[in-house]
Amino acid sequence: MSVAKAYRTNLADVPLAQGLKKDDGWIDMQVQFLIDEKTAGAETSVVGWTVLKPGAAHERHLHRNCDEFFIVIKGSGHLYVEDREEAAKEGDVVYSPRGCPHGFKNTSDEDVVLVWGWNGSGSLEASGYEVVADGA
């Protein structure tokens, strides 16, 4: 039996994720996958950092195979939770169990910074990610 090794990185060393498309709900987002299966061998966890410029959004979506949390580190905007929209601000902590629609839009004139994570999946591909139509 092999022993897993600890992993450490720094935001400055992690490239922005490539290939995140507007058609898939990623609207002008700067996303970094800090810890995942590819970088750290984390088969059931992902930790990320996202910056949303004013007007940027992660449209309403869900994950079939993992739970998600995020923390609003900086800024404010609107949080999509299930079929409603709520104001969100710095310090808010949100948990969305697998299958629960959620998202975020920066409605302010300042950057929003989110720290987020998935439990149950080590990659976007394995998360069961899908965009949810408005009102669904």
Question: What pLDDT does 4 receive?
Answer: 75
- Give me the chain's average pLDDT, please: 95
Predicted confidence band of residue 111 (pLDDT cuts 50, 70, 90): very high
Domain 31-131 CATH class label? mainly beta
Per residue in 11-29, pLDDT tens?
Answer: 999 999 999 999 999 999 9
pLDDT at 82: 82
CA distance 74 to 82: 23
Nearest Cα residue to 52 out of 40, 38, 69, 70: 70
Q: What is the pLDDT of residue 134?
A: 67
Pairs from 96-99 (Cβ < 8 Å, separation ≥ 24): 96/62, 96/63, 96/67, 96/68, 96/69, 97/67, 98/62, 98/63, 98/64, 98/65, 98/66, 98/67, 98/128, 99/62, 99/63, 99/64
pTM of the predicted structure, to 2 decimals:
0.92
CA distance 4 to 54: 40
Q: Is residue 49 very low, low, confident or very high in pLDDT (cuts 50, 70, 90)?
A: very high
